[in-house]
Structure 1
Amino acid sequence: MSIEPEAPEPRWAVPPVGGWTADDLDTLPNLPPHTELIDGSLVFVSPQTLFHSRAVSFFEWQLQSLVPPDLEVVREFTIDIDRYNRPEPDVIVVDGEIIQDPNQTRFPAESVRLAIEVVSPESLTRDRETKPVKYARARIPHYWRVENHDGRAVVYVFELEPSTGAYTSTGIFHDRMKVSVPFPADLDLTAITARRRAAPPE
């Protein structure tokens, strides 16, 4: 009976001294999908809930029809904050001119007008504490955090305060979300968790 050789340990299993860098995300082989870089450490995504999937799709498609022509909506795409931080917001709104190459793998943080994170149990601390600090430091003007409260979507809206460089809360929205910045939006949040009913037979 032959013994199968053990699979080699992936290169990213042991970080280098000082941690991984933003450029490493494009060169490390066999990284799991949607790997993020936070403070030089690789962060892997756990299996997502149905709420998370629906919320990301909702904001992606709703905002597509609302953003001005010079902006673009992109889901699950990494942004460069600095050498050791390359997070992947669930949805971002970016300056359209930054999208030039279909093979590009990231956007500079300064091109982002809005970052949206849909909170999962494993990402709670990152989405409430770690990421907002980094997004504010990168001067992303708007940040929305979406949470599941007993089966209902709640959206926490933040805007960058220029004098402090920190986010300030500008609203908490249940059922319906109506804002004027970074562009006018009037959203029915109940649609995120509403069950889709089959059409009646003819």
Structure 2
Amino acid sequence: MTAALSGAPPEGGWTVDDLDALPDDGVRRELIDGALHVSPSPTSIHQVIAMRLGVALEQTCPDHLFVSQSNDVQLSPRRLFIPDVLV
């Protein structure tokens, strides 16, 4: 975890545990096969489109599913995504 705290990529790539060791500073970080990706804050139009998509999905979503926004989706220790809208 020292690599995560120093900002240098750990040997073998980043993991979700490395991300958890970083400060909660509001920066959007995702992992793709151990590579760290940092995204800027979404633009206003991006947020409007995501919201409209969420509303449209919510109106047609089956009862056993739900629509959510910006949740961490961890697929493996080296893959973590933060989709704008998910079902």
State the TM bucket, normalised to the shorter chain. 0.7 to 0.9
1:21 to 15, 19, 23: 15
Match of 2:44 in 1: 50
**1:72 has 2:72 as partner:** no
Q: 1:20, 1:41 within 8 Å by CA — same for their partners in 2? A: yes
Q: CA offsets, 1:96-154, max 9 Å, x none? A: xxxxxxxxxxxxxxxxxxxxxxxxxxxxxxxxxxxxxxxxxxxxxxxxxxxxxxxxxxx
AA aligned to 2:8 is V
1:35 to 11, 29, 33: 29
**C-alpha distance in structure 2 between counterparts of 1:64 and 1:25, whole Å:** 31
Q: For residues 69 and 60 of structure 1, do their structure 2 counterparts lie closer, same or farther at Cα, with a shift above 3 Å needed?
A: same
The correspondence of residues 110-121 of structure 1 with structure 2, limited to 5 A, is none
How far the C-alpha of 1:45 sits from its partner, in A, is 1.4
**1:91 has 2:71 as partner:** no
**C-alpha distance in structure 2 between counterparts of 1:74 and 1:24, whole Å:** 25
Give the TM-score of the pair, scaled to structure 1: 0.37
Q: RMSD over aligned Cα, in angstroms?
A: 2.0
How far the C-alpha of 1:43 sits from its partner, in A, is 1.3
Q: For residues 12 and 55 of structure 1, do their structure 2 counterparts lie closer, same or farther at Cα, with a shift above 3 Å needed?
A: farther
Q: 2:28, 2:41 within 8 Å by CA — same for their partners in 1? A: no
**C-alpha distance in structure 2 between counterparts of 1:65 and 1:12, whole Å:** 45
How far the C-alpha of 1:31 sits from its partner, in A, is 4.6
Q: For residues 12 and 19 of structure 1, do their structure 2 counterparts lie closer, same or farther at Cα, with a shift above 3 Å needed?
A: farther
Q: For residues 14 and 32 of structure 1, do their structure 2 counterparts lie closer, same or farther at Cα, with a shift above 3 Å needed?
A: farther
Q: For residues 12 and 66 of structure 1, do their structure 2 counterparts lie closer, same or farther at Cα, with a shift above 3 Å needed?
A: farther
The correspondence of residues 31-180 of structure 1 with structure 2, limited to 5 A, is 31-93=25-87
How far the C-alpha of 1:40 sits from its partner, in A, is 1.2
Runs of 4+ in 1 over 3 A off after TM superposition: 30-33
Give the TM-score of the pair, scaled to structure 2: 0.77
Unmatched 5+ stretches in structure 1: 1-9, 94-202
Aligned length: 84
Point out the structure with the larger strand share.
1
Q: For residues 20 and 12 of structure 1, do their structure 2 counterparts lie closer, same or farther at Cα, with a shift above 3 Å needed?
A: farther
**1:11 has 2:38 as partner:** no
